[in-house]
Amino acid sequence: MLFNSLSFVWFLGLVLALYYGLEHKWQNRLLLVVSYVFYAAWDWRFLGLIWFITLTSYLAGLVMGRSGNPAQRRAALATAAVACLLPLGFYKYYDFFILSFAHLISLVGLPASLPTLSIILPVGISFYTFQALGYVIDVYRRKQPPESDPLIFALYMAYFPHLVAGPIQRADHLIPALRSRRAVCRSDIGIGLELMLIGYVRKVAIADAVAPFVSACFTAPGDSGGLNLLLGLYLFAIQIYGDFAGYTDIARGMSRLMGINLMINFRQPYFSTSLQEFWRRWHISLSSWLRDYLYISLGGNRHGTIQTVRNLMLTMLLGGLWHGANWTFVIWGGLHGLYLSAERLLPGARAPEKDHWSWRILKTVVTFHLVVFAWLFFRADSLAAAGDYFAAMMHLGTRVQPHLLALTVFYCLLTAVIDYPLYQADAEIWPIRAEKWVAKGLSYGALAVVLLFLGETHAEPFIYFQF
């Protein structure tokens, strides 16, 4: 059930109609039931998987909360971690590692006939697995008290707005919101609707609109010419941002309609002046998760430059592999690890707040193009396909297709028009005061017109649903 489908609009409308008429405890029960219905609409067979991870994490939290024995606490943590990571490893990485190993042994002349399973990937497994792991680690570190109410914990794991593609919620943020009574006020409804409108424009009118042109470039790069492939790469940068940030806006907006505020996941990342800033603004729930539970656990930057670079590389390589079982994602993560390491090593690579505006613009342009280059590997189906695309892009003599250039300029400008006011005000919605209702109405009316006239009529899956 896609957020950008008519069936989901009816589903959400029915949920809200029931939700507003119930008391708090029944609201939570309703949300848990509809969350499981929502997940079952993708594939009911995987409900057992999310129930298993939920139950294991819940019980491990109770054991760690009640025990003062370090060995028992470590055993509970280890049990929960294995219960979370084994399904993720099996469903997502079994074929990848088998095929990679088969290729490796074939290089030395050994027989390479190994069984593969072509396993269907459960939607959202990477997200709710990390959410469960974050909870049990926080309980183990005594940063989070164990949740005793099984209904609250099950809802924390399965809450449908963020279930299949995040943001990855922290227990100390979402569980208190689920436990407390919620009074949905006018501002919640206003902000929720504005977030959803912005999200639908990002997804339907921008990401889905440029998707066919991106696909054409990546399907047959030899037919497009170098400069046109560069434009295709720019369009993919716009597509993936509009697609994923649009999903987050819609998720946060519908949750706000229910009085529950999910964490911000994007803060205009393409305006970043460094790669470190980019990762503070892009997929914030994942980047902060990797920082807190992996990078810092490895030692962070506490043991000298060499150890810091090693920790950055390991974190980003694993972060790349988290996105998908393909060496292209490992290369993508490795590139970002190299970028971040270079910023640590090169003096003046990270811009102070008092940099001259021209220097900040230059750094923004350089950062953006480093990110765009890495997107090539993220989008390519294989390393060979990425190499073919890059080689074809180096042939710059071909004329630019005027319509592709016009599309690229238009959608880049449309994205900037939406993002720049948010970036300047560091806000989640356009900073127009409620009393300026004419300006507010015209602004969001313009977005509605863009959605109506530029939006794609068929529902395209969100890119991050495959992760």
DSSP annotation string for 274-327: SHHHHHHHSSHHHHHHHIIIIIHHHTTTSS-HHHHHHHHHHHHHHHHHHH-SSH
pLDDT of residue 53: 96
In this structure, are 153 and 269 located in the same domain? no
pLDDT of residue 95: 74
In this structure, are 122 and 192 located in the same domain? no
pLDDT of residue 434: 67
Flag whether pLDDT at 106 surpasses 80: no
Distances (CA, A) of 425 to 109, 230, 267, 278, 419: 61, 31, 11, 17, 10
Flag whether pLDDT at 422 surpasses 90: yes
Q: How far apart are CA 419 and CA 62, in angstroms?
A: 43
Residue 1's pLDDT band, with cuts at 50, 70 and 90, is: confident
From 151, 183, 215, the end of a domain falls on 183
Flag whether pLDDT at 15 surpasses 60: yes
Prior bond of 87 cis (ω within 30°): no
The upper half-sphere exposure of residue 90, i.e. CA atoms within 13 Å in the direction of its Cβ, equals 8
In a domain, 5, yes or no: no
Domain range for residue 149? 21-183
Flag whether pLDDT at 352 surpasses 60: no
Is 422 within 8 Å of 428 (Cβ atoms)? yes
In this structure, are 211 and 139 located in the same domain? no
More confident residue, 374 or 112: 374
Flag whether pLDDT at 104 surpasses 80: no
In this structure, are 196 and 69 located in the same domain? no
pTM: 0.92
In a domain, 12, yes or no: no
In a domain, 4, yes or no: no
pLDDT of residue 112: 58
In this structure, are 259 and 406 located in the same domain? yes
Is 274 within 8 Å of 350 (Cβ atoms)? yes
More confident residue, 242 or 68: 242
Instruction: Give the lowest-confidence range in 244-258, 259-273, 439-453.
Output: 439-453
In this structure, are 36 and 162 located in the same domain? yes
Q: Which of 252, 228, 227, 237 is nearest to 206 (CA)?
A: 237
Distances (CA, A) of 193 to 38, 160, 197, 250, 251: 21, 17, 6, 9, 11
Q: What's the mean pLDDT when you consider all of the chain?
A: 90
From 154, 183, 212, the end of a domain falls on 183
In a domain, 234, yes or no: yes
In this structure, are 39 and 165 located in the same domain? yes
In this structure, are 230 and 363 located in the same domain? yes
- As a whole number of Å, the CA-based R_g of the chain is 23
Flag whether pLDDT at 294 surpasses 70: yes
More confident residue, 42 or 351: 42
Can you tell me the mean pLDDT for 5-15?
Answer: 92
Number of domains in the chain: 2
Is 251 within 8 Å of 258 (Cβ atoms)? no
In a domain, 105, yes or no: yes
Residue 414's pLDDT band, with cuts at 50, 70 and 90, is: very high
In this structure, are 56 and 176 located in the same domain? yes
Flag whether pLDDT at 201 surpasses 60: yes
Distances (CA, A) of 204 to 207, 208, 287, 452: 6, 5, 26, 10
C-alpha dihedral sign at 423, 287, 40, 15: negative
Q: What percent of the chain has pLDDT over 90?
A: 70
User: What is the chain's percent helix, strand, coil content, to nearest 5?
Assistant: 75, 0, 25
In a domain, 6, yes or no: no
More confident residue, 362 or 99: 362
Structure tokens at 386: 């990425």
pLDDT of residue 459: 72
In a domain, 314, yes or no: yes
In a domain, 138, yes or no: yes
Residue 43's pLDDT band, with cuts at 50, 70 and 90, is: confident
In this structure, are 161 and 201 located in the same domain? no
Residue 109's pLDDT band, with cuts at 50, 70 and 90, is: low
From 183, 207, 240, the end of a domain falls on 183
Q: How far apart are CA 278 and CA 266, in angstroms?
A: 10
Question: Cα–Cα–Cα angle for 205, 209, 213, nearest 5°?
Answer: 160
Q: Which residues are catalytic?
A: 323
In this structure, are 246 and 378 located in the same domain? yes
In this structure, are 99 and 215 located in the same domain? no
Residue 107's pLDDT band, with cuts at 50, 70 and 90, is: low
Name the packing angle between helices 226-257 and 383-393 (round to 10°).
120
Buried b (16+ CB within 10 A) or exposed e, 254-284: bbbbbbbbbbebbbbbbbbbbbebbbebbbb
The DSSP symbol for 273 reads S
Can you tell me the mean pLDDT for 64-69?
Answer: 91
Flag whether pLDDT at 90 surpasses 70: yes
Distances (CA, A) of 176 to 130, 191, 275, 293, 417: 19, 21, 33, 21, 36
